[in-house]
Amino acid sequence: MAIKAIHDQNVFMPSMCLLLAVFVLVAYWPRLLKGKAVDLERRRWWLKLLGILCAINFVLAFTFEVYYHVLSCTVSPKYFDTNITIARFVTTKLVSLGVPFWAESATLLEALRLGTINPWDHDTDYSMIDPGPQGVADLLAVFNTKEGHTHANYVPERRLIQIMNKVGAQGPHVDIWFWDEETDETGARFVVGAISDFNFYKRPYGSIYPLQLVPWAGGFVNVPHQAHYLMRGEYGHSYMSKLTFKGDCTHNIFSARWWPF
C-alpha cells in the first residue's frame, strides 16, 4: 500500500513541501540565532530564490493536477495513433504467422472494456509461452524490419521483447512477455510469469487456452479463454472500472508524451 501511495501522488508535492520548509527556516533564521549577526543581503537573496522556486513548483503541481483530473493523463493524438499503428502491425503479423499470443495487463483490460487501448497508455502488452532461444531470434528477425518501420530488442532480465518504431525510442512500443508452462505434483498445468511484474503470476493452463480471436483497435487480438477471471485476479473485483493513476501522469509528463509534434 505504501508503494502504491507513493506511485499515486503528485510528483511535485514533496519538492514543494521541502522548498516551503526551507523558506520558513531561512525566514526565521535570525530568531533561531538569538540575536547573532546575520548577513541580511544574503538572506534576502536566498528568500527571493526560494520564493521563485516555490512559485514555479506550485505552477507545476497545479498543472499536474489539471493534467490528471481534466485531461486524464492522455497522450497526444500523434502518440496515440502511433501506439495503435505499431500494436496493430504486431498483432496482425503474429496472427498471420499463427503464433499463439494473448493480450496482457491493461491491453487486455481495454480489449474487454472498449475494444481499443487506454488514451493514456504509452505501450501495449502481450504474452506468450517462452519460445526458447531460436524462437526469440525468429521474433526479432520478424520485427526488425522496414515493413512496419519497427525495431525489436530482447530484454533477458525482464523476459520480454520490446518492439518500437525507432531504434532506442522511448515512445510508443509493444512489450511481449514470456511465460513458462509448469506441471505440479498432481498433474495440474499452469502458465507462470514473473512475480515482479504480475500479481496473478501463476495461472491455470485452462484459463489461458484455448485462445479467442476478437476484434480490437481496427484489427484482431487473442484474449485468454477466461479473460475476466484473469483480470479479476490481476486487478481485483473492480477491474472493469476505469482508473487513472498519477504514476501514469508522471511518466507521460517527463517523457513528453503529451507533446503534439
Task: List phi, psi (to 5°) of 112.
Answer: -80, -35
Distance CA 178, CA 155 (A): 11
Task: List phi, psi (to 5°) of 222.
Answer: -80, 140
Q: What per-residue confidence (pLDDT) applies to 8?
A: 62
What does the pLDDT look like over 112-125, one tens digit per residue? 988 888 888 889 99
Bridge partners (DSSP) listed for residue 215:
220
Q: Kindly state the percentage of the chain with pLDDT values over 70.
A: 89
Check pLDDT > 90 for residue 223.
Answer: yes
Supply the mean pLDDT for the chain.
85
**How many helices and strands (H and E) does the chain possess?**
10, 9
Cβ-based neighbours of 109, under 8 Å, separated by 6 or more: 118, 231, 235, 239
DSSP assignments along 158-169, one per residue: TTEEEEESSTT-
Q: What per-residue confidence (pLDDT) applies to 6?
A: 38
